Amino acid sequence: MPLHVIVGTQWGDEGKGRFVDWFAARAAYAARYNGGDNAGHTVTVGKRIFKLHLIPSGILQPGVIAVLGNGMVIHPRTLLEEMDRLIQAGIAINPERIRISYAAHLVTPAHQALDKAQEATRGKSSIGTTGRGIGPAYMDKASRHGLRMADLLQEDFVERVGDHLAEANRALQRLGAPTLDTAAICEEARSWAARLKDYVTDASLELNRALQEGKTVLAEGAQGTLLDLDFGTYPFVTSSTTTAAGALTGLGLGLTAARDARVTGVVKAFQTRVGSGPFPTEILDDLALRLRGTGANPWDEYGTTTGRPRRVGWLDGVLLRYSARLNGLTEFVVTKLDILSGLETVKICTAYRSGNQTVTDLPYGATNLTAFEPVYEELPAWQENISVVSRWQDLPAAAKNYLERVQELVGVPLRMVSVGSEREQVIKVSHVGKGQRFFRCGMRSA
């Protein structure tokens, strides 16, 4: 079985966690390849809701080995708290079930403090980061003086943490921000090493072996394509490679691992974004409140990590096509279709206009989006409660029509649609398209 990558096609929060959980039921490994605890993946299993920030959502499937790849930046405190919460929920957590790449970088309280202090100095042009220290941790990685998981195994680990904190305190002073209690953090670092060192391993070696033995490796992307450091809406992006290609560098896999890869793009039925940055199809009237929800439901549009209300808008087909291309999608799944039930009409942006020019491909990627105005197609909506629908043929015609249009824009087959937060509220799709055309793309069944 090949590598199977699950990637967000928008600005994150597409609902990847629930599909990773779904596909992990058939996988040997679930491996995160980028980001840190800026991510928040929610999975509902029966009456229980799991919010995961660092550990791959695949851990909720018994028998799956969860891998935290070298492309990640890991705050040991968050990781240990997350492990403890899972243990309390009865999930087996031990070095047999979790592997951490020796080459993953550490996020420390100093990175978090620097992240917040740097954002404060940016004023109006702040990125709206999650404040989790992600940017500063990747900066240390790129400038080659970061702390890595392998360092937990070294005798001088705590001393190195002390040096890192001293340097960070000097930077915080320069930014006019409060400094950190070095002794207390060094003491805490001692416990990180004691509790995590048995989990540190060469994850790349194990994953390559697993693929050679024909096992399925599910690579779980965090955030979304439009937050990618290179191809997202720079500078309003995160600091890692969020696209499917990141699965290779972020897990230590060679190019040949991608030969037969299945790449599933997760598309929310409408667009959301948290933090600053351009958003051409943003809705700013009362409809935004309706799509966002009140926050009473854990699936409402409020950040899993920060609790911030998400900005909402119509599905952006131009950015979706861009995302399909960048990730080399072989298929896609749609989440939260049920939220669109009961609207008067639904809109999809199919092109951008600038002056008298209309484009469907972006001339300079996702940069300069403010120069464009979206061109919409308005489609009939449906009034039925679709959260109880479990078969494609039982969906209202207008809902099927909407999905068919989305599929035309993405250009690869639609495989599944989620219509509620429960693990089983998923419609499998084997035939979508004008004339009920069957897709035979040589894909393996889910």
Q: Which residues are catalytic?
A: 13, 41
- Rounded Cα distance between 7 and 387, Å, is 24
- Rounded Cα distance between 130 and 75, Å, is 14
Comparison of 97 and 116: residue with beta carbon closer to ligand IMP: 116
Find the shortest distance in angstroms from Cβ 300 to ligand IMP: 14
Residues 6+ apart with CB under 8 A from 392: 400, 417, 427, 428, 429, 430, 431, 432
- Rounded Cα distance between 204 and 9, Å, is 25
Q: Count the site residues for ligand IMP by CB under 6 A.
A: 21
Comparison of 51 and 160: residue with beta carbon closer to ligand IMP: 51
- Report the residue from 134, 346, 369, 412 that binds ligand IMP according to the rule CB under 6 A: 134
- Report the residue from 3, 7, 12, 365 that binds ligand IMP according to the rule CB under 6 A: 12
DSSP assignment of 258-278: GTT-EEEEEEESSEEE-SSS-
Site for ligand IMP in 273-312 (CB under 6 A): 274-275
Q: Does 130 help bind ligand IMP (rule: CB under 6 A)? A: yes
Name the segment binding ligand IMP (CB under 6 A); options: 81-89, 124-132, 164-172, 321-329: 124-132
Q: Which residue has the tokens 């799509």?
A: 291
Q: Does 113 help bind ligand IMP (rule: CB under 6 A)? A: no
Find the shortest distance in angstroms from Cβ 134 to ligand IMP: 4
Site for ligand IMP in 19-48 (CB under 6 A): 38-40
Q: How long a stretch of residues is the chain?
A: 446
Q: Does 265 help bind ligand IMP (rule: CB under 6 A)? A: no
Calculate the alpha carbon distances from 78 to 38, 83, 133, 407, 436 in Å: 11, 9, 12, 38, 48
Q: Does 135 help bind ligand IMP (rule: CB under 6 A)? A: yes
Comparison of 335 and 341: residue with beta carbon closer to ligand IMP: 335
Find the shortest distance in angstroms from Cβ 351 to ligand IMP: 26
- What would the 3-class secondary structure string for 370-390 be? HHCEEEEEEEECCCCCHHHCC
- Report the residue from 74, 127, 200, 398 that binds ligand IMP according to the rule CB under 6 A: 127
- Rounded Cα distance between 407 and 401, Å, is 10
Name the site residues for ligand IMP (rule: CB under 6 A): 11-13, 38-40, 127-130, 132, 134-135, 222-223, 227, 236, 238-239, 274-275
